[in-house]
Amino acid sequence: MSSRESTEESIQSVNKELGPSSGNDSLDSLPRKTVTYSGDNNEFVIIDNKKYHRHELMQAFGGTFNPGLAPPPTRSFGNPAVLGLAGFSLPTFILGLFNAQVKGIEIPNLIISLCFFYGGVTQALAGVWEMFIGNTFAATTFLSYSGFWFSYGAILTPAFGILDAYAAAPEQTYQAIGLYLLGWTVLTFMFFLLTLKSTVAFIGLFITLLLSFSLSTAGYLTGNFYLVKVSGGFSIACSIFGWYLAWAGAVNPQNSYFTYYALQIPTVSFGGKKNKA
């Protein structure tokens, strides 16, 4: 019997033993997307009215871009998070180098090729696959940042005429770019809040990305382009976190002598009360 079939039978057994016969009739009235706990030592987790042993659930793991407790995926696809993280990290790294003006480069247009043909396409594919396996967070983030790379590439592509439209009012160009980046800063902050119960590397990815967007936004809106240069350093750090998480999703004892260790963030229970069903 496969481990997947064994896990499914264990879950069914737990549901049968701790279902309506356990006297916990309130489970049927729980709203969707709730996570509660039961058992003397909170050894059971109830997600959407289904009971699981804690050891049967996946912990937060950057290699699958899963920021919290979740049942293992039931579809036998490969891990699309590796592709999505790789497609995010390489263009972020190159853009960070350009923004930091490494080797004196001030014209970032070479990034257009990566925006369209790597960052945009690969993250779009990864996001769609993540939706199929039920990882809403990964699907939303990959598809969102795929849209960022496509849109950023379009801004730098002369054929779209986006920057040319500001020829009559050049003073508005940097302000418009700043507001564009402000929107991505807000969205990234929302994603960052969803990683606070995950792992150190997972949080590191989003906090460095948030700082990069924030500094770029401030630089363009204020005209202080030293801030944009500093943001390039945070982009480079963000790409390193992304590559590390991508490596974590692909590494196994058969292909590497090294092992990935996830440093989990302790879950804080506010009010000093344990969550029980």
H or E element that contains 80: helix 80-99
Same domain, 12 and 108: no
Mean pLDDT of all residues in the chain? 81
> In this structure, are residues 111 and 119 in contact, taking their beta carbons and an 8 Å threshold?
no
In the chain, the percentage of residues whose pLDDT exceeds 90 is 55
Residue 260: its pLDDT value, please? 75
d(CA 112, CA 77): 31
> Is 215 inside any structural domain?
yes
Residue 89: its pLDDT value, please? 97
d(CA 147, CA 188): 13
Same domain, 19 and 123: no
Residues in CB range of 106: below 8 A, 6 or more apart: none
Same domain, 108 and 31: no
Same domain, 114 and 212: yes
Q: Which of 170, 151, 137 is nearest to 67 (CA)?
A: 137
DSSP calls for 84-137: HHHHHHHHHHHHHHHHTTGGG----TTHHHHIIIIIIHHHHHHHHHHHHTT-HH
The model's pTM: 0.72
Same domain, 47 and 144: no
Q: Give the number of domains in the chain.
A: 2
DSSP 59: P
> Is 183 inside any structural domain?
yes
> Is 105 inside any structural domain?
yes
Residue 198: its pLDDT value, please? 86
Could you list the residue range(s) of the whole structural domain that residue 38 is in?
3-57
* Residue appearing with tokens 């390039």: 232
> Is 140 inside any structural domain?
yes
Question: How many other C-beta atoms lie within 10 A of the C-beta of residue 77?
Answer: 10
Same domain, 122 and 224: yes
Residue 71's pLDDT band, with cuts at 50, 70 and 90, is: low
pLDDT tops 60 at residue 11 = no
